[in-house]
Amino acid sequence: MEQIINASETDISFFKIPADADYAETIIKTDNCPVAVVIGYKKYLELRRYISERDERFAVYDEIRSRNRNAVWEQVESDVAAAVQAVRGK
């Protein structure tokens, strides 16, 4: 569960935020607009790993896309249909 703290309150509760970070995200707001989030270190590492894995996957997609930049759409459609048919036929 998350908690929301206005920036004007952070001086009062600043020392409590890190203690709660492993259990809940804390959203810091200024003028009722979210400006920051405090999360636990384990969650931070998990998010970093996720982002890294996602970037690696998209690098593959970007490389494939760049190799096929000049592909003719009808030929791509035909090739995909043939590949699907080959897989279904096995």
Diameter of the chain by CA atoms?
68
pLDDT in tens, 24-50: 788 888 888 888 888 888 889 999 999
Q: What is the side-by-side strand order in the sheet with 33-38?
A: 3-6, 26-30, 33-38
Q: Is the pTM of this model over 0.85?
A: no
On whether the CB atoms of residues 44 and 52 are closer than 8 A, the answer is no
In degrees, to the nearest 5, what angle opens at C-alpha 52 toward C-alphas 3 and 69?
Answer: 125
| Residue 51 in this model has a pLDDT that exceeds 90 | yes
Mean of pLDDT values over 9-38: 74
